[in-house]
Structure 1
């Protein structure tokens, strides 16, 4: 692995360390299954109104407005100025990374419960999107889009330092794609989710 790989990994790690770490109050505000889904939609599809969220989630516009205000109170989302009307406000998720499970929040029962609920809902939604693609999307999508998909799992043996370096290289690739294409528009442009899971398997003892 050359020096540029180490540099890219270090820059990406430093960038993500500057992201927002949600405190207990923000986590508790987000710790509602419907709010997590709303937050995901704003993250993946961009600005929304209470009406557009209601249509996507099968909820009432009034319910969406209530939850949007609760999220905005803790700066999890924000209203877009000079867009929409008093009756139809537009909301967006501020750019930048977010850490959902801060160490300090786990120090209290309320903090642990909120962090666990948010993490569970985020992963449940993420896994459901993948399952939906594998069961129907992979057949319904245009061939051009089908050929771009990648669902892959691999296992290797690494040290913590090697694993951290690999994580940094992958994060750097993802960051570059996000920075390059985040605001892209066009007829053939649509949201694309980029996923990466790296974690150690349980140590069962004995030789491999």
Structure 2
């Protein structure tokens, strides 16, 4: 397994360090946009560079991010996310109330940012998209009737495709290269009885 395909499962201390909406956003921006400074992140998130610098140090203390080697100065440091994937435990996997709360913050914020990115893509005027990229994006939603074994087999196929893409393209550079978002979702839907029960008591469950 290469460094870029290794999976790090966050422990309780790293999860708590990440459990702040601004830190999740900074963490996400470093993945989406590559290395940044406290000043460039401040401009992106609408905060002061002192604030982003504080949160960057907190993330670095738990090895969630690292300083870019050989780049920057004593006054302007560059930060990046280490290569590899992050596994964020769900709230139901945490044993203490504090850890469950941290997991809930991180998970909710990641998915909020994911939805925000998708809506930004869907609402972007075509005039702002380079012509060569206008027919590239696609969103697909379908519903299938499957057994748990079939769903697991499909999951493994999708994971294989994603891993293959990571091996081929991550770190690629060139005049026509742009960062893209690759998303894979596969989950079972509630039964009619579950859907009715959930709609009446506003309960949201996450697995």
Is TM more than 0.5 here? yes
RMSD of aligned residue pairs (Cα, Å): 2.0
From 7, 22, 42, give the equivalent of 2:30.
42
SS at structure 2 position matched to 1:197: coil
Secondary structure at the aligned position of 1:65 is classed as helix
Per the TM alignment, residue 143 of structure 1 is displaced from its structure 2 partner at its CA by 3.3
Give matches, 1:100-179, under 5 Å: 100-101=88-89, 106-138=94-126, 140-179=128-167
1:79-138: CA deviation from partner (whole Å, max 9, x where unpaired): 122211111111111111111115785111011111111110000000011111111255
Secondary structure class of the residue paired with 1:79: strand
Aligned to 1:21: 9
Structure with higher RCO (Cα < 8 A, 6+ apart): 1
How far apart are 1:161 and its partner, in Å? 1.5
**Within 2, Cα distance between the matches of 1:169 and 1:93?**
27
- Tell me the residue number matched to 2:81: 93
Find the counterpart in structure 2 of residue 4 from structure 1: none
What secondary structure is seen at the aligned counterpart in 2 of 1:82? strand
Gaps of 5+ in 2: 194-207
User: What residue is the counterpart of 2:205 in the other structure?
Assistant: none
CA distances 1:5-47 after superposition (whole Å, capped 9, x unpaired): xxxxxx9xxx97x511111111111011111110001111211
More helix by share: 1
TM, length-normalised to structure 2: 0.86
Q: What is residue 199 of structure 2 aligned with on the other side?
A: none
- What corresponds to 1:5 in structure 2? none
- Consecutive unaligned residues of structure 1, counting only runs of 5 or more, are 1-10
The TM-score normalised by the length of structure 1 is 0.85
